[in-house]
Amino acid sequence: MSTRYAVVPAPFGPVTVGVADGAVTDVRFPHADGSAATDAMGVRADPGEDPVLAEAVRQLAGYLAGDRRVFDLPLRLRGSAFQRRVWEGLRAVPYGTTTTYGALATALGLDPRTTARAVGAANGANHLPIVLPCHRVIGADGTLTGFSGGLERKRELLALEARVASGTGTLF
């Protein structure tokens, strides 16, 4: 499986999206220094050379511009059956809203008293953030908790969605 990637400009730094064999495999936030996270991603490609890459770039750019709320892309999920179940559950969290780890566990038919932390760990292992909206999951007390892209990016994504959902403008 040879991964091809492109970099999408975002207000918080470049987002890298990778595709292989007709499916999106990765979405990565920039490194702490602001550079694109392309380490071991494969080959940088012109999105015009790969229809799935072109569509992933178009949809990510649309989301970041406040023009897209739902992603419709072929995805390749890499993880355990439990992780994949949690990641699929993220798709049901509506744009512009948040849920908790416990509520997500309940929505998945799990006992939140025994699985909320495991749901949180699976959420943290999501390799397709934004597309599978792990940023919409917060702590039971309403605080922003762990996020692979950093809490400031989580805050920015939630603020973008809140502005778009309320009709008060977009990030750009």
Give the residue numbers marked as catalytic.
Answer: 134
SS (HEC) of 84-123? HHHHHHHCCCCCCCCEEHHHHHHHCCCCHHHHHHHHHHHH
Distance separating alpha carbons of residues 30 and 46, to the nearest angstrom? 19
**Which amino acid type is present at position 170?**
T
Instruction: Output the CA angle 10-122-2, nearest 5 degrees.
Output: 60
